[in-house]
Chains A and B, each alone.
Chain A
Amino acid sequence: AQTVTQSQPEMSVQEAETVTLSCTYDTSESNYYLFWYKQPPSRQMILVIRQEAYKQQNATENRFSVNFQKAAKSFSLKISDSQLGDTAMYFCDFMKQEYGNKLVFGAGTILRVKS
């Protein structure tokens, strides 16, 4: 079975600064997908960024980038130029490369961006 661990229950960052959220996972699979989803207060969960395990290049999406270390089974999210709207619960997720969708969620990290 796969497990996802987010060791930081809560974090805070000043507006315009950079913050890194940590995530480690455990799997015996060689092909899989990793995601970061965010759940803003009282709003719907949305995808932030995704990474295919077979790709060595780290994914980036505007101010969001990941540091994917496959051998270490680590998948951290870096948010640059933090904005107040980035305040949310962030979930690190794992999905096997198989037919169908089944996300395995980490416990989440609450990120608060302060002005």
Chain B
Amino acid sequence: KAGVTQTPRYLIKTRGQQVTLSCSPISGHRSVSWYQQTPGQGLQFLFEYFSETQRNKGNFPGRFSGRQFSNSRSEMNVSTLELGDSALYLCASSLGQGAHDEQFFGPGTRLTVL
């Protein structure tokens, strides 16, 4: 079974631009969660999608948004980029049936904002 894939792997943007990151979950997984990893703040939960609906949301500003498609693939969008948005963005997929589900992480997208 193929693992979680994220595209692109690396991205360089400038302040004020917007960016879209993509995550393809493991086949059969219906939940996709997004996390931001920075040296200063560590790993922080952004949001989770399950069956095309946002099921959980972290404490990030409205510039961070996401969606999930009928095939469970998910995208996250960051508008009006700031320098502080530079981070490794990880997505994780799971069956989505309960908190006991193991989450499988992708390799991440490294976003650099100049």
Interface residues of A (CB under 8 A from B): 32-33, 37, 43-47, 50, 52, 91, 95-108
Partner of A102, one of B33, B42, B101, B104: B33
Interface residues of B (CB under 8 A from A): 3-4, 31, 33, 35, 42-45, 48, 50, 55-56, 58, 90, 92, 94, 96, 99-108
Q: With A45-B105, A100-B48 in contact, do A91 and B56 touch (Cβ < 8 Å)?
A: no
* B contact face: mostly helix, strand, loop, or mixed: strand
Residues A104 and B106 in contact, CB atoms below 8 Å apart = no
B60 to chain A, nearest CB (A): 13
By a CB distance below 8 angstroms, the chain B residues around A106 are: 42
Residues A97 and B99 in contact, CB atoms below 8 Å apart = yes
By a CB distance below 8 angstroms, the chain A residues around B50 are: 100
By a CB distance below 8 angstroms, the chain B residues around A52 are: 100
By a CB distance below 8 angstroms, the chain B residues around A47 are: 102-103
By a CB distance below 8 angstroms, the chain B residues around A33 are: 99-100
- Cα A100 to Cα B99 with chains together (Å): 6
- Cα A101 to Cα B43 with chains together (Å): 15
Q: Which residue of chain B lies nearest to A39 when distances are taken between CB atoms in the complex? A: B105
